Amino acid sequence: MPKRHFRADDLLPSEITPRHVFEQRRRLLKSAAAGLAFAPGVDALAQAAGAQKLPGRQSGLSTMEKTTPYKDVVSYNNFYEFGTEKDDPARNAHTLKTRPWTVKVEGEVLKPREFDIDELLTLAPLEERIYRLRCVEGWSMVIPWVGVPLSELIRRVEPTGNAKYVEFVTLADRAQMPGLSSPVLSWPYVEGLRIDEANHPLTLLTMGLYGEVLPKQSGAPVRIVVPWKYGFKSGKSIVRIRFVEKQPITSWNRAAPQEYGFYSNVNPDVSHPRWSQATERRIGEDGFLQRKRKTLMFNGYGEQVASLYAGMDLKRFF
Ligand code: MTE
């Protein structure tokens, strides 16, 4: 990816800033996060929702871009199990019971097992990763997620040589999820990654955001975040992870295969059949004069992930 496609603030800080300056900015951000000076209202809102603290150590894989205000992160969501309007999940997800919670890991692995949510929280030191999330609908956010690399889980179950893909199955319980009465998608919500994508250091098994346990509308108690792909690849409230030989059939691909491919890498050169993907609206920056941002190839993570797709025609494998 030629450098001229990037803006300076779209690069990872470690690539553009001398280490000591980078460290200093990180410390500043950290102290800002402690006082939450850059996101007014986080504490009050999170406490009102009864949120528990879940701090993570700062990760060098974070973007230095301004984070999206907490109130937007928790009130503008896609989580169709709780309704299709952006404010439905915040209004309806209180019925989700997030404990006890287990994730069953099975399929092409030598050591299939169930992980309790508390085990997932202690798989590895929790990290805070500030990632961009770009939705296929044309909006984006910058969110400080808290989690551990998914590879930490994968390592423990020892995939066999037949494990080419990983399928993520999320909770589908009509008693807790009013949106399941709508046939908008086939339930449960299913997503998938190629095994090398799942093992990539950027792929985060996510249990928190903004230093708190995940709010229910954000996919509590555990979701995936794959920052170089459109947001729908990041399944919420995961209950099963299956290692399989064949490419999984995912919910969005099943619903509209011509619109939502399996890969779904953020790609400004591949338009959605009904709209362009060249630009995006950053949530929280709305305003009459606010210009849209140019969408970056792989959501700005090309340096890290482009090699996964070497030789592939990304217009065909969209
Ligand atoms: N996971 C489940 N289980 N159900 C969903 O409807 N929506 C996806 C993804 N994960 C969805 C899901 C879509 S379309 C997006 S853009 C992201 O979640 C949004 O995540 P956020 O609301 O935390 O920003």
Measured in degrees and rounded to the nearest 5, phi and psi for residue 89 equal -60, -40
Q: Which residue carries 């919420």 as its tokens?
A: 236
Fold of 60-309: Sulfite Oxidase; Chain A, domain 2 (3.90.420)
Concatenating the DSSP letter of every residue in 118-161 gives HHHHTSS--EEEEEEEE-TTSEEEEEEEEEEEHHHHHHHH-B-T
Specify the higher pLDDT residue, 150 or 45: 150
Query: How many Å lie between the centroid of ligand 1 and the Cα of residue 234?
Result: 6
Sequence ranges of the domains in the chain: 60-309
Better-predicted residue by pLDDT, 290 or 10: 290
Whole-angstrom distance, CA of residue 57 vs CA of residue 64: 15
Query: From the alpha carbon of 133, which atom of ligand 1 is closest?
Result: 24
Portion of the chain with pLDDT greater than 70, in percent:
87
The predicted structure's pLDDT at residue 41: 62
Rounded average pLDDT over 260-270? 98
Does residue 277's CB lie within 6 angstroms of at least one atom of ligand 1? no
Query: Does residue 210 have its Cβ closer than 6 Å to ligand 1?
Result: no
* C-beta 81 within 6 A of ligand 1: yes
- For the chain, percent of residues with pLDDT exceeding 90: 82
Q: What is the mean pLDDT of residues 141-160?
A: 98
- Give the residue from 81, 291, 305 showing the smallest Cα distance to 186: 81
Query: Ligand 1: distance of its center to the CA of 80 in Å?
Result: 8
